[in-house]
Structure 1
Amino acid sequence: MRAFGWVLVVGIGAAFFATLAPGVLGLSMADGVAQLIAVRPWAAAACLIAALLLTLLAGLVRLLSDGRAPRLVTLALIAAVVAAGHLGVVLVRGTSDTQPPLAETAQPGDVTVVAVNMLGGSGDTARVVDVIAGAGADVVMVPEAGDTDEMVRALAVAGLTFTVFDGTGVPLSADPRGTALLVRDTLGEYVPAAASTPGSVHVVPADGTGPTLIAVHPIAPPVFPGATERMRWWRAEVADAAGLCPQIPGAIVAGDFNATLDHGPMRDLGTCIDAATKAGVGGVGTWPASLPRLLGTPIDHVLADGAAFSVVRAAVVDITGTDHRAVVARLRPVG
């Protein structure tokens, strides 16, 4: 019986440790695991609570039976270690409360990117315009854009001229869930390219000089396990979106990926880098915005080819009216 008890401890302990890096075991995209690994702060809290409960239970056993309850103590220690591991990942990716880069600090060749999910156009346009103008953004990736006309007009008043691209052929005013990509005239003329992934917008410089720009928005996974078809769909779209940056030299790919850096395709980005993580804000949650910044899930990203760009600064910015925070990143050409 004692041997069986220790076997059970080993099994439960292994399950605890597996939550730290399910991608190593090829489980990060599995139904149930994918939802769990997306919320590391909550996983850390759950493990910490488990450690406390197991410690209390061990103390109760010792009090009532004069035993030492070594199995419970071992599990409590394992849960505490795993809680620290989850928290450590968040801290390593960065939780700084930095401000966005300022327009006046940009150097020639810099590319400043804003990625913001506008929740079907419900986001505060005036606030977004302030963020774009304040950072001197050159590119704005807008999943669930809604009608971008008001935004473009307000930006023009602020002295910023943008061209709007969408990948559906359907007016954004008629498709509020569609994705828009705004390119400032300072980057030169851009033209549409064929989008290779659903929900994405792909543009290239007309003269071949400048970065390829892609806005993405894979479907969201189901909140709870069991929706097999939607999980299959999500896996395919996340893999397609995450694969774009490594495939295209000099690319900048940004938007609402509906995935964190723990999900399989986001773990292997080749030469590409996640701007928020490089700048020390990759652990800040971008969704849902209703939760505190350190309890949300970082699913909005700005990815760039690390062989072509370095990250000067990045910030996660609150936007009223939408359930996402925006990511603002300034990229500088390497060399």
Structure 2
Amino acid sequence: MLPRILGWAVVLGTAALAAILVWPQAFGLQDQWIAAHVVALRGVAAAGGIAAAAVFALLALVRPLRWFAAAMAIVVALFALGNVGVLAVRGAGGAGDAAAAASGSVTVLSWNTLGEVPDATTITDLALAEGADVIVLPETTGPLGEQVAIAMREGGSPMWVHTVAFDEIAKARSTTILISPDLGDYRVVSELVPGPPGNTNTLPSIVAEPVDGDGPRIVAVHAVAPIRWELRNWRSDLDWIAERCAGGNVIMAGDFNGTLDHFAGRGVDGGDLGRCSDAAASAGWAAVGTWPTDLPPMFGSPIDHVLATSDWTVDSFEVIEALDGAGSDHRPIVATLSPAG
């Protein structure tokens, strides 16, 4: 009798844990240790659940373990199915789903360069091919940003360059944004030192506003990764980023080091983060991993984003896989947004 009771306790405990890890936001655990990492890699979690279900199904053929193994197989299979369901709803992207861009559209390109591993030519060629109006480059210093701007000008698409660097200890402590003059003149209004209320905590973000007040606020984002000793800063970064989208007419892009799951509870008036909504979710690409490039996209984590307020509609979005060999551990993303209405 005791082994059966203990067996059922294990099954029920595993079921409870599986439910939490499939949808931790229902329990307020989406930005807590362990749960935050499991939902960040839902494709891997689903594959692990399928493998575990297969193992338990085989063990169910052994008579002494039949009921326990069968019950465990069902639990982990449901865990895998739950993750697959979330990924299916969020969308795996695909070709031919872009709408025609409207007048006044803005194309935003974002690429974490892993400390400038892709060179200026690679970045410029991509930006010119995509017709980028805004280029967000976390882990990129001012000199490389200037090289890209010069190459963009030579390619017929001049850019203004803005860089925020907390220090020169590592290139990850710099973020660069390039903005087309067609959008007007912009000034940086975020602080040049780490920490709220003026900036993110560990890695710099940039808030740029139009000088004449006509145009969107543009936010280049780099939140710290949710490693164990940075969890508090990571949560604070997401809160700070959400506050940058508390008003209207905002476009933000970059490396958020968080997925839609981690944004839960930080949205306002239907937004995913503050009043900003995720372009990938709107276009059906939100399940496609942008990091790391050494995992297939459906097994990676979609932590790079373009978001905008309801002033903008999403014409297209894409996670670019063709540059997985360019050296960065992030995939570039590109979105085209048009004024709403």
**Partner Cα distance (1:138, 1:266) in 2:** 31
**Partner Cα distance (2:265, 2:148) in 1:** 31
Q: Residues 24-39 of structure 1: matches in 2 within 5 Å?
A: 24-39=26-41
Offset, 1:244: 2.2
Moved more, 180-189 or 192-201: 192-201
Do the aligned partners of residues 3 and 321 (structure 1) sit closer, same or farther apart at CA in structure 2, a change above 3 Å counting?
closer
Moved more, 86-95 or 41-50: 86-95
Equivalent in 190, 210, 215 of residue 186 of structure 2: 190
Query: What's the counterpart of residue 15 of structure 1?
Result: 17
Query: What's the counterpart of residue 277 of structure 1?
Result: 281
Q: Residues 99-138 of structure 1: matches in 2 within 5 Å?
A: 106-138=101-133
1:241 aligns with 2:244: no
Equivalent in 311, 325, 331 of residue 331 of structure 2: 325
Query: What's the counterpart of residue 136 of structure 2?
Result: 141
Q: Deviations over 1:138-175 (max 9, x none)?
A: 111110013212211111111011001123386x8985
Normalised by the size of structure 1, how large is the TM-score?
0.88
**Partner Cα distance (1:47, 1:8) in 2:** 16
**Partner Cα distance (2:148, 2:124) in 1:** 7
**Partner Cα distance (1:298, 1:267) in 2:** 17
Q: Residues 65-84 of structure 1: matches in 2 within 5 Å?
A: 65=64, 69-84=66-81
1:205 aligns with 2:210: yes
Query: What's the counterpart of residue 44 of structure 2?
Result: 42
Offset, 1:75: 1.9
**Partner Cα distance (1:308, 1:266) in 2:** 22
Do the aligned partners of residues 164 and 174 (structure 1) sit closer, same or farther apart at CA in structure 2, a change above 3 Å counting?
farther
Q: Deviations over 1:225-250 (max 9, x none)?
A: xx3x32222221222223422x1311
Cα pair 1:221 1:258 within 8 Å, conserved: yes
Query: What's the counterpart of residue 219 of structure 2?
Result: 214
Offset, 1:101: 6.8
Cα pair 1:272 1:304 within 8 Å, conserved: yes
The one-letter code sitting in structure 1 at the alignment partner of 2:104 is: G
**Partner Cα distance (2:285, 2:238) in 1:** 22
**Partner Cα distance (2:154, 2:95) in 1:** 27
**Partner Cα distance (1:7, 1:220) in 2:** 35
The one-letter code sitting in structure 2 at the alignment partner of 1:312 is: D
The one-letter code sitting in structure 2 at the alignment partner of 1:59 is: L
Equivalenced residue count is 320
Offset, 1:130: 2.1
Q: Secondary structure at the match of 1:232?
A: helix
Cα pair 2:166 2:173 within 8 Å, conserved: no
Offset, 1:72: 2.3
Which ranges of structure 2 fall in alignment gaps of 5 or more residues?
192-197, 268-272
Q: Secondary structure at the match of 1:236?
A: helix
Q: Residues 293-304 of structure 1: matches in 2 within 5 Å?
A: 293-304=297-308
Do the aligned partners of residues 159 and 174 (structure 1) sit closer, same or farther apart at CA in structure 2, a change above 3 Å counting?
farther
Q: Secondary structure at the match of 1:109?
A: coil
**Partner Cα distance (2:33, 2:166) in 1:** 33
Which ranges of structure 1 fall in alignment gaps of 5 or more residues?
none
Offset, 1:13: 0.9
Query: What's the counterpart of residue 311 of structure 1?
Result: 314
Query: What's the counterpart of residue 175 of structure 2?
Result: 179
Do the aligned partners of residues 250 and 186 (structure 1) sit closer, same or farther apart at CA in structure 2, a change above 3 Å counting?
same
Equivalent in 261, 283, 293 of residue 289 of structure 1: 293
Offset, 1:176: 5.6
Offset, 1:267: 5.9
**Greater RCO structure (CA 8 Å; 6+ sep):** 1
